[in-house]
Amino acid sequence: MEKARAILVAGGSGSRFRSATPKQFQIVLGKPLLVHALERLRRSGSIARLIVVLPREGFDEAKRAMEPYWGEASDVECVPGGNSRQESMIEGLSRMEPFEGVVAVHDAARPAVPSSLVARVVEAAAADGGAIAALPVVETLKEATRDSRVARTVARESLYRAQTPQCFRYDILSHAVRKAVEDRFSGTDEASLVERLPAPVRIVLGSEQNLKVTTVEDLERVEFHLRKGEP
């Protein structure tokens, strides 16, 4: 199987993180979170090239700060992002020449992703055209009214929490992106763009270790998983 090309999305400002330093640049165990994420992608053995999307504001400074971590590595390219996660992903995709393989999109805010999970999602996408990591919902779900009263209990049996990586054949993802731009549609992840084509997206069982850092409190949890190492 041909190795995938990856877009590591690290272009956000982290408004919910409540820190002057965006979460993707937070140092844990001596490295920024985005570097941990990049290393997990590399370790999967499924990625041939990595495009790291950094914030547009302060791009040159961020690029210089990150370069010591990967040096002169020929498989890493840094590009400035857009005003949203979707725009940043599109910026990364625009740096790729059309090819017949798989594009893997991963959040820098998920630095403890198991490398084996990356490999499994890439493999599933190569077979089916599209795949995402996701975990089944285990909590009881309630739909609420506008005044915060319970309206009903939502059946959870077929519900999943989407994670990254999200992987798609290049032709499918680029088609989904063109359609989203034409329709002025903004999705919350890559799968939401591909679903509109429509095109099938397989679910690959994710990992609780693959948590997303959203608040400062999450740093302690992700450090625990990084110290523990690969499952």
pLDDT for 1:
76
d(CA 107, CA 91): 14
Digits of tens for pLDDT over the chain (231 positions)?
Answer: 789 999 999 976 555 555 667 889 999 999 999 999 999 999 999 999 999 999 999 999 999 999 898 877 788 999 999 999 999 999 999 999 999 999 999 999 999 999 999 999 999 999 999 999 999 999 999 999 999 999 999 999 999 999 999 999 999 999 999 999 999 999 999 999 999 999 999 999 999 999 999 988 899 999 999 998 887
d(CA 70, CA 216): 26
pLDDT for 231:
72
pLDDT for 73:
73
Residue 56 main-chain phi, psi, to 5 deg? -65, -45
CATH of the domain at 69: 3.90.550.10
Domain of 175, in residue numbers: 4-228
Domain count along the chain: 1
Nearest alpha-carbon partner for 165 in 132, 130, 213, 191:
132
Nearest alpha-carbon partner for 96 in 7, 201, 182, 180:
7
pLDDT for 70:
84
pLDDT for 22:
83
pLDDT for 151:
96
Alpha helices in 95-217 (DSSP H): 115-128, 170-183, 190-194
Nearest alpha-carbon partner for 201 in 87, 95, 125:
125
| H and E: helices and strands count for the chain | 7, 11
pLDDT for 55:
94
Q: Assign 153 to helix, strand or coil.
A: strand
pLDDT for 53:
97
Nearest alpha-carbon partner for 110 in 187, 207, 3, 201:
207
